[in-house]
Amino acid sequence: MHKPVFLYTVYPVGRLVGWMMCILLMMGSFGCQKAPGTARDQLIYISEEKEIALGLSAFREVLKSARLSRDPEVTLMVNRIGQRIAKAANKPEYVWEFAVIQDDEQINAFALPGGKVAVFTGILKYTKTEAGLATVMAHEVAHALQRHGAERYSRGILEQIGQIGALAGAAAGGVDPGLAIGAMSAYGVGVSLPNSREQETEADYIGLQLMAKAGYDPREAVPFWERMSGCPRKLIGKYCFRSQSSIPEFLSTHPSDVSRINQIEAWLPQALKWYHPESSHSGTSPSMTSSLSTFSS
């Protein structure tokens, strides 16, 4: 009788992938939880207390070197919008802080764990209105609420362990180290980047609800993203392009412009249920309870 031949005895890469999967699955069995508001599976190995402390430390370092805006009107507007969104977020563990960094070339905003948010002045030419700015800020607040920073931190740990294990396994099994590195690169494209896109989509989804709860019209998110793309949605990718439009969505950490706008429009009916423009939001907003099925639609 012939002895059965398994894949890894014929193809070294099969054995290598097996080693990698064992390591990653063992690590993945710890730290699993559900993302608030979407029930998406998350892998987080860091406590929220440590995450908040790291966010505060990083924010202080950013503010030391950043040039803060001296425009009182812009600063007041950002803080006013931020506090309304923070109230809608209903996350009392966070001490929310909002900063405006003077850099007209930087079209961006960011959030750090624990409720630290910064807006660069360069993005204001695209936000145009308070609702447009609320779109950006609610998106960033959503990143903090969903603990995306902790998730990326944890994924980095997992990937480093996977790389070490793959290289060690390659050395022990006589596999070319270049093959091990290539396998880990494939893992990066297959797992890391899609998860980053998923985080961006999740931030869009939660952010849309937050801005609505804070009293900002969620329908204004669509024209904002159209302005960011440089043209109306129907023309994106056909007659006008932005500088990064040549990067395939498969290799991008952000959804494509068309995908993002289509998803936002699909979520608008639900978000509009939270929208009460006359509301002062003096009370506390309920926590996010949206279902995964709605998020995934």
**239, 113 in Cβ contact below 8 A?**
no
**208, 221 in Cβ contact below 8 A?**
yes
Residue 44 lies in a domain: yes
Residue 205 lies in a domain: yes
Residue 5 lies in a domain: no
Residue 92 lies in a domain: yes
Segment 217-251, tens digit of pLDDT: 999 999 999 998 875 555 554 445 555 544 444 44
For residue 111, give its domain range. Answer: 32-148+197-296
Helices H, strands E: what count in the chain?
Answer: 12, 5
Residue 239 lies in a domain: yes
Is pTM beyond 0.85 here? no
Mean pLDDT split into 10-residue runs, the chain, 297 residues: 39 48 52 77 83 93 95 98 97 96 93 95 95 97 91 72 52 51 44 67 96 98 90 52 47 72 95 82 42 48
User: What total number of domains does the chain contain?
Assistant: 1
Question: One of 51, 97, 130, 140 is an active-site residue; which one?
Answer: 140
Segment 48-95, tens digit of pLDDT: 898 999 999 999 999 999 999 999 999 999 999 999 999 999 999 999
Residue 215 lies in a domain: yes
Element (H, E) at 112: strand 109-112
Q: In angstroms, rounded to a whole number, what is the distance separating the alpha carbons of residues 192 and 146? A: 17
Our answer to whether residue 140 is catalytic in this structure is yes
Residue 183 lies in a domain: no
Q: Would you call 111 helix, strand, or coil by DSSP?
A: strand
Using only C-alpha atoms, what is the Rg of the chain? 22
